[in-house]
Amino acid sequence: MSEQQTAGTIPIERKMPKREASFRLPYRFEIDPAGPTSPWWVTIVSIVLALVACSIFIALNGMNPIMVYAKMLKGAFGSSFGITETLVKAIPLLLCGLGVSIAYRISVWNIGAEGQFLAGAMAATAVTVYFPQLPMYISIPSMVVASIVAGGLWGLLTAIPRNYFQVNELITSLMLNYVALLALNYAVFGPWKDPKGFNFPGSPMFTAAQSLPTFGTTRLHFGIVFAIIAVLLYAFMIRYTRWGFELRLIGANAEAARNAGIRISRHVLLVMIISGGVAGLAGMSEVSGVAHRLMYGISPGYGYTAIIVAWLAKLNPAGLVISSVLFGGLIVGGYSVQTIGLPSSTSSMIQGAILFFLIAGGMAGKIRIRRNR
């Protein structure tokens, strides 16, 4: 540049920005998604912490938490009536939880057990509505088969979009719950409404030939046999069959299973059919063994509670039995605390707290502490 061009210009002094002092912790926390599963004692600690957290809200309502928990425990397990009622509630929870667990084995997140439950209940009721004169030895097996087929097809509606259109199964299975609920409401308010039911939204009452047998004078019905057989079959197939081995391999490492020649898409279809079929059988057991009719609000949320049951059991067959009885007791205990001024939704609060702390406990096991260099 010439002198004429540079004349009159003012030189600008460049100043380097000052480096601000930063404070860095010597350690950092990271989450390892492939970390090991939490040990068994984490489940117990999670339940205890959930009860402690719920006791705070109970105390804010002016109640003694220890007295409330004692009342719930006594109502659910303190008498033969309470025990049988707990088992009655545990039957649909066990079957739906089993269906959810089968899908979780290959990391398919089936949260549509509620809709599959309702589909099975409607299919079983259809047999009673359109074939009312069938004898028991034909009507009960027909209702069982119809409920399993309907629940399986409802589960298939989730598997097909996942396999061929890469649609997240969380969305489809959840939305199908509402579709099933609307279909049930249409049936009980419309074509299946009992003309002699005094405008009550429900189907005609089942006859003795359409109702599951009960044990003695209790409400405990034959559905518990279905649940026990289903759990035993699940335990045997997962542990001793090639199909069970393939499911465990897919759940552990899907890429390794694919490289081994296992067709994952076929397993997703089959697993969702079985998962939905088991949940559909739970719907049949409820309408035929407890309500003896299809009615509005037939399920108080068994399909959603089954997610917590499966999570608590860690997909273990024996754990499913224990957790379903535990949550059945929570439901029955929730009814008993109404006599001391608390709503029955207290049990729902405890269920939600248990799920929250279970998830937190599982995540805590995957946290890793790294040193900052």
How many Å apart are CA 294 and CA 292, to the nearest integer? 7
Task: Say yes or no to pLDDT of 350 above 80.
Answer: yes
Q: 59-63, 83-87, 340-344: which has the minimum mean pLDDT?
A: 340-344
Would 151 be classed as within a structural domain? yes
Instruction: Please report how the helices 80-104 and 113-130 are oriented relative to each other, as an axis angle in degrees rounded to 10.
Output: 110
DSSP strands (E only) in 54-111: none
Helices then strands, each counted (H, E), the chain = 14, 2
Here the CATH number for the domain that contains residue 194 is 1.10.3470
User: Domain range holding 284?
Assistant: 32-59+71-363
Would 12 be classed as within a structural domain? no
Would 2 be classed as within a structural domain? no
Model confidence at 16, pLDDT cuts 50, 70, 90, reads low
Task: Say yes or no to pLDDT of 227 above 80.
Answer: yes
Would 65 be classed as within a structural domain? no
Domain total in the chain: 1
Residue 34 DSSP symbol: T
How far CA 105 is from CA of 116, 135, 246, 251, 342, in Å, comes to 18, 39, 10, 5, 38
pTM, full prediction: 0.87
Residue type, 57: F
What residues pair up with 30 in beta bridges, in sequence order?
A: 368
Residue type, 317: P
Q: What is the pLDDT of residues 272-305, one digit of tens each?
A: 999 999 999 999 999 999 999 999 989 989 999 9
Q: What is the pLDDT of residues 160-208, one digit of tens each?
A: 999 999 899 999 999 999 999 999 999 999 999 998 888 889 999 999 9
If you average pLDDT over every residue of the chain, what do you get? 88
Model confidence at 138, pLDDT cuts 50, 70, 90, reads very high
Would 370 be classed as within a structural domain? no
Would 6 be classed as within a structural domain? no
Which residue matches tokens 């997703």? 268
Would 193 be classed as within a structural domain? yes
In sequence order, what DSSP letters do the residues of 330-368 get, joined into one string?
HHHHHHHGGGGT--TTHHHHHHHHHHHHHHHHHHHTTEE
Would 23 be classed as within a structural domain? no
